[in-house]
Amino acid sequence: MPEGHVIHRLADAIGAAFAGEPVEVTSPQGRFAESAAMLDGTVLTSAQAWGKHLVISFDNHHDEHLLHIHLGLIGKLVVGLAVPVVGQVRLRITDGVKAADLRGPQTCTLINDDEWVEIMADIGPDPIRGDADPEIGWQKVRRSSRRISDLLLDQTIAAGVGNIYRAEVLFRHRIDPETPGKQVSHSTWVAIWNDLVILMRAGVKTGRIDTVQPQHTPEAMGRPPRVDRHGGEVYVYRRENQPCLVCGTPVKMALQGGRHLFWCPRCQRRHH
């Protein structure tokens, strides 16, 4: 499932490609045909991301003028030149030159303003957004007996954080992933949040997740660059049994809540 910075990049790409223009909206696959017909020929006004949710606004006479998309585990949204449709495209937005093709989303629905308000009520603060309030997430963390590694994946606490960011931010702050949320201090939560803001906003700019400090880059350490389809230089994610870049201890991996968790058992001992 894409992490939040990917969804923000898609919102930016759609806005840059189509905002202020009338667009053709179709459903080549047919599963979104009725709703697509309601949007076809209207002006795409804006696109925004909130966590892992993407909402695209259209200027039309229908009450349902917001396109709500959640990619889920297998969804793909590609913005580029308007080439002939290939494969099962649920939705295509195009101006004849550029196109956005959506495949396999978890959610692709046309909604109204009230429905979007209801959806937002279940989404937590997004570190990439300027209007995010980390105290909303903190109030849930401080009362919880759940592990901090589980809490960071709770989209009502920190929207957009996925498996990579949670593993890396816990390493960067030397926190044991098993630590209950109620043992985490407020100052530590603020430090985690501020770090997520920096890392995730950088991801929006670069399109990759880089979490290592300058002294731990391949150039500084004289090591080969990381080769992984996710890209970016990281401390622990998908580095199980490899030496920790800081202390040399083999990185651990465990299945936790259906997701793979990565951590350094020597560096990550903090419980507060």
- Annotated catalytic residues are 2-3, 52, 259
The residues, ordered by sequence, that sit 6+ positions from 270 with a Cβ below 8 Å of its Cβ are 173, 174, 175, 176, 179, 188
* Token digits of residue 91: 């939705």
Nearest residue to 125 via CA among 107, 147, 141: 141
Q: Edge-to-edge strand order for the sheet containing 66-70?
A: 21-22, 43-50, 53-59, 66-70, 107-111
Spatial separation of the C-alpha atoms in residues 8 and 211, rounded to whole Å: 19
Pairing of strands 21-22, 43-50: antiparallel
Query: Which residue's structure tokens are 């759940």?
Result: 146
Spatial separation of the C-alpha atoms in residues 202 and 233, rounded to whole Å: 13
* Token digits of residue 41: 């020929």
Spatial separation of the C-alpha atoms in residues 236 and 230, rounded to whole Å: 13
Spatial separation of the C-alpha atoms in residues 101 and 103, rounded to whole Å: 7
